[in-house]
Structure 1
Amino acid sequence: MGELANCPQCGELFVKGAISVCQKCYQEEEKKFEKVYKFIRKRKNRTATMYEVASETGVEESLITKWIKEKRIHPSQAPNFNYPCEKCGNPISEGKLCPSCTDTLRKNMTEEADVKQEAVNTMTYYNVNKNK
């Protein structure tokens, strides 16, 4: 079951569920998506950058980025679409982190797991006999 929330775009009260905006704003987003999708489907526009698509269609880059993250627009459809990595800001075309940040995060998580495992292996337990 959804929860009541205010639409982040217009402030209207709605039940938040699968979509994160009210129905009216969702329909507006869908119209914008169709506009962008039709634009990038044309052969001559497939190599356009996100900036070029945004300026030609009038759709905000943040919305286009949202659709890429939701996998509604795939890198194969628009190979020149890039947006910043959420950690370092380097340009990426899919996911939230660049390969470098992903590797660093994976390495840190492995090191942390090794430290925790070592701590478990070196624990000493004492038995206290209260009868003495």
Structure 2
Amino acid sequence: MGEVANCPRCNAIFMKGAATVCPDCQRQEEKDFQTVYAFMRKKQNRSANVKEIEYHTGVEEKLIRRFVAQKRLHPAQFPNLMYSCEKCGAGIQDGRLCSSCTEEIEGGLKQVARNQELEEKKKQAESARNRTYYSVKND
């Protein structure tokens, strides 16, 4: 069962579950989506960017970008639609991170893996050095 929360848009109290806004704001968001989608379906508007869509429909940019991020508006059909990279804010059409942030994170992970391998090799070498046995001959 959901928890009681305040709607981030209108501050009304509602039961938070799958929806992150109250039912009234959810209906308004759906109406805004239909407005944006109707605008984008027109052939002359398919290459519109987010700012142009916002200007012509009155739907705020943040909401349009959320529709793209939720895959309700597909960038494959509308090539100028983008949303923000979660790390740097660059415009992207797919995933959660842009390619440069993805490469940066992957590079960091590879460096951590190399460092762990080097530490493991050092431990093995130290362990091998400590395994030497000496015998003492008593006459």
| Residues 1:14 and 1:114: Cα distance change in structure 2 (over 3 Å) | farther
Cα deviation for residue 108 of structure 1 reads 1.1
In 1, Cα distance between the equivalents of 2:9 and 2:28?
A: 11
Residue 85 of structure 1: how far off its partner (Å): 2.4
Q: Equivalent residues in 2 for 1:90-101 (5 A)? A: 90-101=90-101
Aligned to 1:29: 29
Q: Which residue of 2 aligns with 1:104?
A: 104
Aligned-residue offset at 1:95: 2.6
Instruction: Report if the CA contact (8 A) 2:66-2:83 is conserved.
Output: no
What residue ranges of structure 1 are gaps of 5+ in the alignment? 126-132
1:8: how far off? 0.3
Q: Residues 26 and 117 of structure 1: is their aligned pair in 2 closer, same or farther, counting only changes over 3 Å?
A: farther
RMSD: 2.0
Once the two structures are overlaid, the 10-residue window that deviates more, 87-96 or 74-83, is 87-96
Specify the code of the residue in structure 2 equivalent to 1:10: C
Cα distance change, pair 48–111 in 1 and its aligned pair in 2 (3 A): same
Q: How many Å apart are 1:61 and its aligned residue?
A: 0.6
- 2:39 matched to 1:39? yes
Q: Which residue of 2 is the match for residue 71 of structure 1?
A: 71
Please tell me whether the aligned partners of residues 82 and 91 of structure 1 are also in contact (alpha carbons under 8 angstroms): yes
List gaps (5 residues or longer) in structure 2.
128-139
Larger Rg belongs to? 2
1:128 paired residue number: none
Instruction: Please give the TM-score of this superposition, normalised by the length of structure 1.
Output: 0.83
